[in-house]
Amino acid sequence: MSNNETTGEVTEAQIAVHWQEEEYFYPSTEFIAQANMTDKGIFDRFSLDNIPECYKEYADLLTWDKYWEKTLDTSDAPCWKWFVGGKINVSYNCIDRHLAQYKNKAAFIYVPEPEQEPHQPITYQELYVRVNEMAALLRDFAGVKTGDRVTIHMPMVPELPITMLACARLGAIHSVVFGGFSGRACGERIGDSGSKILVTMDAYYRSGKLLEHKDKADEAVKVADEEGVTVEKVLVWQRYPGKSSSKTPMQEGRDFFVNDVLKQYWGQRVEPVQMPAEAPLFLMYTSGTTGRPKGCQHSTGGYLAYVAGTSKYVQDIHPEDVYWCMADIGWITGHSYIVYGPLALAATSIIFEGVPTYPDAGRAWRIAQQLDVNIFHTAPTTVRMLRKAGPDEPPKYDYHFKHMTTVGEPIEPAVWRWYYEVVGKGEAAIVDTWWQTENGGFLCSTIPALHGMKPGSAGPAVPGIHPIIYDEDGNEVPAGSNKAGNICIQNPWPGAFQTIWGDRDRYVRQYYERYCKDPNSKDWRAWPYLTGDAAMQAPDGYYRILGRIDDVINVAGHRLGTKEIESACLLVQEVAEASVVPMADEIRGRVPVIFVSLKPGFSPSEEIQKKVVLSVEDTIGKIARPAAVYIVHDMPKTRSGKIMRRVLAAITNRVDVGDITTLANPEVVEEVKKMVQS
Ligand code: PRX
């Protein structure tokens, strides 16, 4: 399936589990009766021939300051510009326009992790006030102007979307870094985006502990400085306003408590800046094939139109629904489907601070019961975790979901069934949504009232998305042939990212070069978008996603670059070489396993293993913590000296190592096998 065989790389797709075709499940008549989308005609309206004009239907869900003149401008192919000439403000669309009808309705309900702390509903009116005041602070105290980047490194608290929406109100570009990432990872992203302002929080709860967070800001500022970017102000929200929850001192003249400074801005209102539709709204960094994460640049009008449309038709969100997406806002799922999509539709969106199995396996279902959640959204890794921790918990609680989502990784049919029967009580329609940070919103999923659900398959493409599967040589794999290949999208769509921040060449190279039909063409038909996933399509048109074809590991639904992890290992003084491979894991889908060899003069020790783990955690974050670190005396290599990751991955996953006769050092294979498999 991939030419990686010859280069010695291994891909997730090659260790994918190929489960059997499953039968269909159908949504209930009650669900269909209330669904937002019950018209099969949507697929004709969004046919390939109707690209790009069909997307007017999504853009019309929004309130424009100035209507656009051109739906799609392809003159700078493959950097697509949507709704050109249009002016719009995202914060206005997510807040102000709902006030007349919904000012007293909860926009967010914040659920702190400690159960003794009360839930905090934030009405649309209150959100309006808080976003305006924060926007005034950012503009007048921090000097943030339209187009400036603001890095936000925060946990799951309402002050996070408040800060994002305040940036959007000003037309400033936010760059949210997942709260669990290390200070170093945050600093590198500040360096890349050139943001002069860092917004953070002093502490947050996770598994019952109030974790220090401000220390990461100090590290981030230091790293950004090494990258040539001076952070002028660090704005620190407090988990308990007025009370210090962090031991890290504030630096005079640089660090400020937001709630102190905000007092000067109480009652202030900031006119939403009318932004060009194609102005960037935010950056979201993600892992790729090289060591450095890339900043996916998302647009204002196109992005909001796409997340509003897909939230309405795939998530089936109505204003009266109580919607809970358990992702972190620090990932694209949280941006699109906790904040922007739901708020554009005037929904009530829950923000949960903690882990869903703390203090016990019933926590998530107690929240669902108490808030009467009816739409639930999470990743297979969390479903597996909840199933393991409390397989019989959900029926003990009185809640009823009409709709559930899975996102981020393939879901095994057995896990899907537990989700459907036990969590959803057989009542909820499920959508398995396949997409990526780069895409802004869903690519493949069933439309819940229109299609049957097939466990283990993401479903057909959503309206307006037209996938195509190519083989290695650029031939089209016949549609519906159940043959695996590299899945691409033939057409642009408004949610797609615009470029990689500061690196247009890398954007073109990585996503559009492989199957480009004519590099000089200004016609979008010449530029299929390479997703980087392997997939197969069944005769019924449903796609099954097999995993990444590049050096990316999908850990618990989150992307990590093997090169990023390897670079972190090489920071350990004793380490000469490092190789990271994905290992199938019962709960997290895939986990990284590390092999290192040492420089001459050093011998293997537990201490070195620990140093490697620490270096990975410090450089990236705990999410990248390896399942194991093996110190080998040599790596399996080709005669040209390339490490054969394929062999290491095969050993780790206890599958056949294949042909090793061409290795320079085949004897190493047995040695590594003994170490790993005994
Ligand atoms: O391999 C695919 C997998 O997650 C990758 C994208 O990761 P990220 O950019 O972090 O975004 C995750 C949330 C949108 C994809 O290239 N993936 C995502 N959703 C699914 C999936 N694999 C199988 N089924 C899915 N539903």
Closest residue by Cα to atom 13, ligand 1, is: 408
In the reported structure, the alpha carbon of residue 218 is separated from the centroid of ligand 1 by a whole-number distance in angstroms of: 32
pLDDT per residue over 112-127, tens digit each?
A: 999 999 999 999 999 9
Find the helix packing angle between 562-570 and 606-619, rounded to 10°.
Answer: 130
pLDDT at 584 over 50: yes
Of the listed ranges 63-72, 341-350, 603-612, 654-663, the least confidently predicted one is 654-663
pLDDT at 4 over 50: no
Confidence of residue 330 (pLDDT cuts 50, 70, 90): very high
pLDDT at 15 over 90: no
pLDDT per residue over 602-656, tens digit each?
A: 999 999 999 999 999 999 999 999 999 999 999 998 887 788 888 999 999 998 8
Closest-CA residue to 220 (of 192, 246, 252): 192
**Mean confidence (pLDDT) of the chain:** 94
What confidence score (pLDDT) does residue 8 get?
Answer: 47
Task: Count the Cβ atoms, other than its own, within 10 Å of residue 279.
Answer: 18
Is the dihedral angle over the CA atoms 310, 312, 317, 320 positive or is it negative? positive
pTM (2 decimals)?
Answer: 0.93
Gap between the Cα atoms of 326 and 311, Å rounded: 15
In the reported structure, the alpha carbon of residue 533 is separated from the centroid of ligand 1 by a whole-number distance in angstroms of: 9
pLDDT at 377 over 90: yes
What confidence score (pLDDT) does residue 52 get?
Answer: 98
Instruction: Write out the H or E segment, with its range, that includes residue 509.
Output: helix 504-511
In the reported structure, the alpha carbon of residue 554 is separated from the centroid of ligand 1 by a whole-number distance in angstroms of: 8
- DSSP labels, 355-400: -TTSSSTTHHHHHHHHHT--EEEE-HHHHHHHHHH-TT-GGGS---
Instruction: Write out the H or E segment, with its range, that includes residue 415.
Output: helix 413-418
Contact residues of ligand 1, CB 6 A cut-off:
286, 332-333, 407-410, 432-437, 458, 531-533, 545, 547-548, 554, 557-559
Closest residue by Cα to atom 5, ligand 1, is: 436
Which residues, in sequence order, are CB contacts of 92 under 8 Å at separation 6+?
Answer: 63, 65, 169, 272
Residue 286 CA: which ligand 1 atom is closest? 9
In the reported structure, the alpha carbon of residue 409 is separated from the centroid of ligand 1 by a whole-number distance in angstroms of: 5
What confidence score (pLDDT) does residue 293 get?
Answer: 87
What confidence score (pLDDT) does residue 21 get?
Answer: 78
Match 């407090």 to its residue by tokens. 238
In the reported structure, the alpha carbon of residue 297 is separated from the centroid of ligand 1 by a whole-number distance in angstroms of: 18
Confidence of residue 490 (pLDDT cuts 50, 70, 90): very high
